[in-house]
Amino acid sequence: MDPDRPVMQNDAGKRNATCVSALNMIIKSLWDISVFASSRDDEPVFHEFLLNDLSLKHPLEANSVFDLFLNILEALPNWGSYFEVYEVAKKICNRCKMDLEYPTERSFGLIINASSLRESAFKDFTFENIVKVIKMNLKMPCDKEGCGKQNYVQRMINNLPSVFTIALEWTKNETAGEIYDTASVLATEIDVSVIYQCEADNRYTKFRLVSMVCSDGDRYNCVAYENNRWVIGDWDSVVSICLTQSIRPQILFFESDMRSPRTLEIPSSPFSTCNGLAFNINPDLNYFEQIVPYGIPDKQVTSLRRETDTLLPSEEVIHEQLVSCLAKAFSYDLVVWKEDPSVILVTQDNE
C-alpha cells in the first residue's frame, strides 16, 4: 500500500473545498453590487454552472482568488463588461524627450501588493494616492536605442467601469499587526481620477466600496455593505476584525457612486427616430448619391452592411444591441423600453 496516497487525496479534497469556499464568497460579494441585483434570483443556476465549469478545471493555488475571479469572468463574458478597464500607458523620456504611448490594455482591475500599502513612506497618504504612486513607480526603460533611461509612466483610462476592482496580493506569512496595518490604509470611497488620468466628468469618477472577498487561512468570507452598514458594524469594526481574526481583504469591489442608477428610457415603437439617431442597417445607398445628406457635401453615408460585409442578424437584435452599447457608452445602468401610445400614433400617421 502506498502510504502517500491518502494524504494526496486529502490534499485534493482540501484544495477543492478551498476553491468552493472562494467561489461561494466571490458570488456572494458580487450579489452586493447594484449591477448584479437582477441576477440574484438566478443564484443557484450561476452557482451550479460555475461550480461545474471552474472548480475542477482551475484548482485554487495560493493567493489566486483573484485568478478564480478572472476565470469566472472568462466563463461569463457578459459579467466581464462591468469590470473592464481600458488602460493606456504613456511615457516621456526626461533625458532624450522621446515619447511613447503603449497600446491600450484591457484589465479587470488593479493588483496591488499588500505589503507596499503599509510602507512607512506612505504615512498620511490617502489610499487612492498610495495606489497612484505604486502604479507610477513601475518605471519603464526608454525605447530609444542607446538611451534606456528608466522613466515614470503616466496611466490613463478611456472608460469608467461600473465596478472598479482592486485585488491585494498577500504572502500568507503576515502577522496580525501587518494585516491590520494594511487594512487600516484601505478606504471605502475612492476617486478613480486620482489613480488614473481620465477625461470623465468628476461626478462619475467616485466609487464606493460595497463588498470584499476576504480570507483567513484556507477559508474565505465576504464582508459586505448592506442596508447602509457593514455586516459587522461600522468600517472601524471591519478593520479591527482584520486584526483580531487575521482576516486578509483579497478582492475589493467598488461601485460607481452615482446616487441612483441612471436610467435610459427608450420608446418601444420601432418607428420613432424623432430628433434622435438614425442608424443605417442595410438601405439602398444609391439613394444618398442623389442628395447632399445632412448638408455635409464631403462626407459619405454608409451602412452596417457595408462596414461589416457580413450577414446581419435581425433588425430587432441590432436595435437592442445598439441601444445597450449606447447606454453603456453613456454610463446608464438600466434601459427601460417605454410604451408611449402617443408616440406610436403620431409616427404611424406620418407613415
Q: Is 76 in the site for Zn ion (CB under 5 A)?
A: no
The amino acid occupying position 41 is D
Give yes or no for a contact between 147 and 99, defined as CB atoms under 8 angstroms apart: no
Give yes or no for a contact between 242 and 179, defined as CB atoms under 8 angstroms apart: yes
Find the shortest distance in angstroms from Cβ 154 to Zn ion. 15
Find the shortest distance in angstroms from Cβ 145 to Zn ion. 10
Find the shortest distance in angstroms from Cβ 331 to Zn ion. 38
Q: Is 194 in the site for Zn ion (CB under 5 A)?
A: no
Q: Is 95 in the site for Zn ion (CB under 5 A)?
A: yes
Find the shortest distance in angstroms from Cβ 286 to Zn ion. 54
- Between 148 and 313, name the residue whose CB sits nearer to Zn ion: 148
Q: Is 93 in the site for Zn ion (CB under 5 A)?
A: yes
Scan for cell 472562494, then name that residue.
22
Q: Which of 147, 187, 243, 334 binds Zn ion (CB under 5 A)?
A: 147
Stretch that binds Zn ion, among 5-13, 40-48, 125-133, 134-142 (CB under 5 A): 134-142
The residues that bridge with 216 in the sheet, in sequence order, are 219
Q: Is 144 in the site for Zn ion (CB under 5 A)?
A: yes
Q: Is 153 in the site for Zn ion (CB under 5 A)?
A: no
Integer Cα distance of 200 and 158 in angstroms: 8
Integer Cα distance of 342 and 288 in angstroms: 31
Would you give the DSSP letter of residue 332?
-
Q: Is 96 in the site for Zn ion (CB under 5 A)?
A: yes
Find the shortest distance in angstroms from Cβ 245 to Zn ion. 50
Closest to 214 in 3D by CA, of 206, 223, 205:
223
Q: Is 142 in the site for Zn ion (CB under 5 A)?
A: yes
Find the shortest distance in angstroms from Cβ 196 to Zn ion. 24
Greatest Cα pair distance in the chain: 88
Q: How many residues bind Zn ion (CB under 5 A)?
A: 7
- Restricted to residues 40-59, the positions that interact with Zn ion (CB under 5 A) are none
Integer Cα distance of 187 and 207 in angstroms: 10
What is 257-310 written as a DSSP string? --SS--EEEEE--TT--TTS----SS--GGGGGGS-GGG-TT-----HHHHH-S
Find the shortest distance in angstroms from Cβ 89 to Zn ion. 16
**What cell numbers appear for 51 in the block?**
461550480
Stretch that binds Zn ion, among 68-76, 85-93, 182-190, 191-199 (CB under 5 A): 85-93
Q: Give contact residues for Zn ion (rule: CB under 5 A).
A: 93, 95-96, 142, 144, 147, 149
